[in-house]
Structure 1
Amino acid sequence: MTFKTTHSYLQLPESCFQVCQPTPVADAQWIAFNQPLAASLALPETYWLTDEGLDLFSGNKLPEWAQPVSQAYAGHQFGHFVPQLGDGRALLLAEFSDEDGQRFDVQLKGSGPTPYSRGGDGRSPLGPVLREYLLSEYMARIGVPTTRALAAVATGESVQRETAEPGAILTRVASSHLRVGSFQFLLAKGDLDGLERLADYTVQRHYPQLQQIDDDGQRYLALLDAIIEKQAQLVTHWMSIGFIHGVMNTDNTSLSGETIDYGPCAFIDEYRADQVFSFIDKRGRYAYNQQPAILHWNMARLAECLLPLIDNHKETALQLATDLINAIPQRISAAWLERMGTKLGLNAVRAEDKSLIERLLQSFEQGQVDFTLGFYQLADELNKQTTPAALYAGCTDFSAWRDDWQQRLSHSGQPLSEAESTMRTCNVRRIPRNHQIQAVIEAAYTDGDLRPFNALHAALQDPFATAPEFDQFDQPPADPQRVTNTFCGT
């Protein structure tokens, strides 16, 4: 591969970005570097854990190929519309291409104030950088569409939040940083030409198969449909692994269907349908079980932006878009059913399986069963007639449910060995648990010790494996270890 960069985002209206330079830092030091990702992007090895790389990923000295800009967007934040947000602490440097020719944004996050900082310092504390590095790379490892972490560096400077915290910069890689809020920004400005250019760019960047649709309105309607499908698959994937994004604002909803912005996110320990971790989500708007409804709401906001492009007649455009929006709950339900059924080893999920899945989740909640281990250990309960494992001891109806599950599998004619194989490959043993991440952050804050970070990162590289050296990372928190609140880094 030959390393090359492009800057296609700059073809959008000038209102969509502002040129901005990173603010130099005092004493940049390496925290982590993602060598496999760097290799796939053909990043020259002159940047791999070198002084030149440290200059690049700290923003202290950018190479000629970097053309840093901060991106503009709007967004509904907890349901309240803000017509201009934008990258308040991030800079898009360039676009790289991987070995398959797919283009990716490379962005510094925490590199100093931008024209969109709204009085903020544009910096990031070390804790959120460590969290995003661990979680985004874990999600990539288990096949969840996500942004990636290319590098993390310490700045040698303090960042003031509730207290003074050490600063850091994350280099983030994404299929793009386009989001629902990108469209909302142009709609709020009344820039219909800009809306069309952004829609065409989104098609070209992420949905090139739609370019063969000659009718403009039908193409933009198909774009809405394609984004809805990507988001439905993404959010149901989150649900199937017990992940709570924590801040599903429209400015955090990507058009590529990737998980973006790992702020106050968390994985569930013991299952509770209405679980919330984000300290700022006081009313549970983005609780675990509310994520499908919020996705529905966010896609309706995207549809509003595309109405002028779908048809010149407002009533016609509204009807066409409404038909797609009204069908979202059914699409989400079907995607959720497929993913959750697979976790039970079912090779052909049926509509009536929904009751079986919901009964298990209710049993988990009643028995305070750990979501991850509860599904992981189910494979050991296949064709078992004896007392269930101790993990399920608090579930009063688990034995009856297990009988019904086994009967369902036997009636399908599916070999139990096949069901077990399916379950072993989709139910993880290990997740980045909140208390473990907190321990990593505390060690890094207390004495600059990154060994816990490196150990957890290593354990998460194979989340299905049974390995004695990783046993400590498989366990749910004891009561004194529980983390009930997570925080954003801004």
Structure 2
Amino acid sequence: MALMFDNRFARDFPSLYSAQAPAGFDTPELLLLNEPLATQFGLAGQPQQLADWFGGKADLPGAQPLAQKYAGHQFGVYNPFLGDGRGLLLGEIKDNQGQFWDLHLKGAGPTPYARGGDGRAVLRSSIREFLASEALFHLGVPTTRALCLVAGELPVQRERVERGAMLTRAARSHIRFGHFEHCFHKGLVEELKGLKQYVVERHWPDLADQPDKLFFERVVHKTAQMIAYWQAYGFAHGVMNTDNFSILGDTFDFGPYGFLDDYQPGLICNHSDHSGRYAFDAQPSIALWNLNCLAMALSPLIASDDLVAALKQFQPALAGHYLKLMGKRLGLEKAGQDDVELINNLLAMLADEGQDYSLALRWLSQAQKGDSLIPCRDHYVDRARFDAWGQQYLKRLSEQDLTDEDRRQAMDGVNPLYVLRNYLAQNAIAASEQGDHSELRHLYQLLQNPFTQQPGMDDYAKRPPDWGKHLEVSCSS
């Protein structure tokens, strides 16, 4: 069955892209295929046919490849020269539920927006993006998806010579904050209106006849929800430039990201981020900063008072989403403001002790109403402090009608046992670079079911070794 393309962006916005064919691999090799997503898209074909399509060797029927033009603030500085420097929007498809998706080929060769780059992606970074997007999806975090990963024979020069690869990203939309910024700064008011209308008609039809201010309010709330998930699940993005922010509030563009191992609120996962602008605990404030940039870009369409009013909704929306998520992780049926102190005290204790964030939350499901102590106390150095907190926690659990077993099952269903730790990704990458892709495929399978204990997988649920906690990741890709 062929993909069902409806390439509206190509039709409606000729001034916002450059048409271009991929510079394909001569001998593409399909390394990973997201089979459930391929089925959802009605995509069928032999592995070599898929490799040829998504390795740029053969034309994908119905596709209209193009490089999008946008701008953005990078580390706080406006850059008007951005765009898809090495990626191509292949087109827009409908899945078997009638939902629209963009397909985007990353690493397809230089475009007019490459700014001197080679337009390629390497196997290392492509593996990291594939695994991260799928890991987040299976945790329930709003995110773009990865359809497939294709490797080529092409050597690519980075800090060292690496193998080239292409990643096919599936996203509900590739419209970024930076698209609106480009239109605003270039005075392209009609394109600005058109982009807003395009997003509404494609994704939020309930806003079709509503005032434009509700569009921005929707973006504010979707962004707040995304950031709440990041903070609740310990995800550090690493490069929160406005061109890396999706208008729909989906996690977008995976570079030097990281998942928390030890709970370090100030974690800087990008070793190029010398000031800590994009540190883990700075993510909420940076998201609001980015929304302010978007508000400026939308000012020709929306009154300033309405923009300010929408921005003021960000913090309470974020706090509400975060409290709900953390309440679930702690087994609280209806978390309220009275639970904020309980959550904050736990996080402060985890930070002071250097406890593993994911495991510490997973262990709490062992608590039982009526007990005086929680079994996981043995993992803590300052047991008196943990016991004092535990008494408050047990008291809170006793106020619920939920049985211990029902609560345990609910908690284990939202607290992952398997997390995409940097060292696990690095092990898979190192093996793949030597031609052995078994660990990569194994890790991908594991991350599709992160909450359920799987036989023989105990090593993947352990704290990382010391060397695995200090891996440095850069924007090099």
Q: Same fold (TM over 0.5)?
A: yes
Aligned with 1:198: secondary structure? helix
Task: Give matches, 1:31-110, under 5 Å.
Answer: 31-43=31-43, 45-46=44-45, 48-50=46-48, 52-110=49-107
Given the alignment, which residue of 366, 369, 391 partners 2:355?
369
SS at match of 2:155: strand
Q: How many residues align?
A: 475
The answer on 1:249 being equivalent to 2:241 is yes
> Mean alpha-carbon deviation: is it higher for 238-247 or for 408-417?
408-417
How many Å separate the matches in 2 of 1:396 and 1:486?
A: 37
Match of 1:287 in 2: 279
Alignment map for 1:18-417 (pairs within 5 Å): 18-43=18-43, 45-46=44-45, 48-50=46-48, 52-213=49-210, 218=211, 220-310=212-302, 317-383=303-369, 384-386=371-373, 388-389=375-376, 390-394=378-382, 396-417=384-405
Counterpart secondary structure, 2:89: strand
| Offset, 1:29 | 1.3
Partner of 1:6: 6
Q: CA deviation at 1:424?
A: 1.6
Post-superposition CA distance 1:88-146 (Å, at most 9, x none): 01001111111110010011100100111000001001001111111111111222121
Mapped partners of 1:373, 1:64: distance in 2 = 46
- Deviation digits for residues 203-240 of structure 1, max 9, x if unmatched? 11121110132xxxx2x110001111111111111111
d(CA) in 2 for partners of 1:266 and 1:386? 33
Matches of 2:135 and 2:419 in 1, distance apart? 8
Q: Give a deviation string over 1:394-420, Cα, whole Å, max 9, x none.
A: 565111111101111223444434432
State the distance in 2 between where 1:2 and 1:462 align.
29
* Paired AA for residue 476 in structure 1: R
Aligned-partner SS, 1:309? coil
- In 2, the alpha carbon distance for the partners of 1:411 and 1:458 equals 39
Equivalent residues of 1:366, 1:395 under 8 A apart: no
Structure 1 residue identity aligned to 2:334: A
Are the equivalent residues in 2 in contact too, given 1:87–1:116 (CA < 8 A)?
yes
The alignment partner of 1:419 has SS state of helix
Asked whether the equivalents of residues 10 and 64 of structure 2 are also in contact (C-alpha less than 8 Å), the reply is no
For structure 1, the 5+ residue unaligned runs are 311-316
Partners of 1:95 and 1:137 lie apart in 2 by 20
Helix, strand or coil for the counterpart of 2:300? helix
Give the partner amino acid of 2:236. Answer: I
1:481 counterpart = 2:468: yes
Q: Which moved more, 1:390-399 or 1:160-169?
A: 390-399
Equivalent of residue 431 in structure 2, options 443, 448, 463: 443
Pick closer, same or farther for the CA change 1:439–1:288 going to 2, 3 Å.
Answer: same
Alignment-mate amino acid for residue 463 of structure 1? P
Quote the offset at 1:2 in angstroms.
Answer: 6.9
Contact 1:364-1:395 within 8 A present in 2 as well: no
* 2:373–2:390 CA contact under 8 A, matched in 1: no
Whole-Å Cα distance in 2 between the matches of residues 423 and 393 of structure 1? 24
2:131 corresponds to which letter in structure 1? L
- Within 5 Å, which residues of 2 pair with 1:411-430? 411-430=399-418
Letter of the aligned partner of 1:422 in structure 2? A
3-state SS, counterpart of residue 151 of structure 1 = strand
The one-letter amino acid paired with 1:256 is L
The 1:387–1:292 alpha-carbon spacing in structure 2 relative to 1, beyond 3 Å, is: closer
AA aligned to 2:368 is L
One-letter code of the match for 2:388?
A: A
Distance in 2 between residues matched to 1:111 and 1:273, nearest whole Å: 37
**How many Å separate the matches in 2 of 1:34 and 1:334?**
33
Structure 1 residue 87: Cα displacement = 0.4
The corresponding residue for 2:443 is 456
* Corresponding position of 2:453: 466
- Alignment pair present for 1:433 and 2:425: no
**1: CA distance, partners of 2:194 / 2:50:** 35
User: 1:314 maps to which residue?
Assistant: none
Bigger mean CA offset, 378-387 vs 99-108: 378-387
Stretch deviating more after TM superposition (24-33 or 361-370): 24-33
Q: Percent identity?
A: 36
Alpha-carbon offset, residue 356 of structure 1: 0.6
Does the CA contact (< 8 Å) of 1:227 and 1:255 recur in 2?
A: yes
* Distance in 1 between residues matched to 2:354 and 2:218, nearest whole Å: 37
SS of structure 1 residue aligned to 2:336: coil
Describe the superposition over 1:322-378 as per-residue Cα deviations: whole angstroms up to 9, x where unpaired. Answer: 111123112211211111111111111111211110000001011111000000111
Root mean square deviation of aligned Cα:
1.6
Deviation at 1:3, TM superposition (A): 3.8
Contact 1:73-1:251 within 8 A present in 2 as well: yes
Residues 243, 265 of structure 1: 8 Å contact kept: yes
Amino acid at match of 2:47: L
How much has 1:171 moved relative to structure 2? Answer: 0.8
| Counterpart code for 1:452 | E
Measured in 2, the distance between the counterparts of 1:18 and 1:24 equals 18
| CA distance in structure 1 between the aligned counterparts of 2:162 and 2:285, rounded to whole angstroms | 36
What is the match of residue 313 of structure 1?
Answer: none
C-alpha separation in 2, matches of 1:253 and 1:395:
42
CA distance in 1: counterparts of 2:222 and 2:448, whole angstroms = 25
Q: Which runs of 5+ in 2 are unaligned?
A: none
Does the aligned pair in 2 maintain the 1:264–1:278 contact within 8 Å? yes
Letter in 1 for 2:33: F
| Partner SS, residue 337 of structure 2 | coil
Shift of 1:387: 6.3
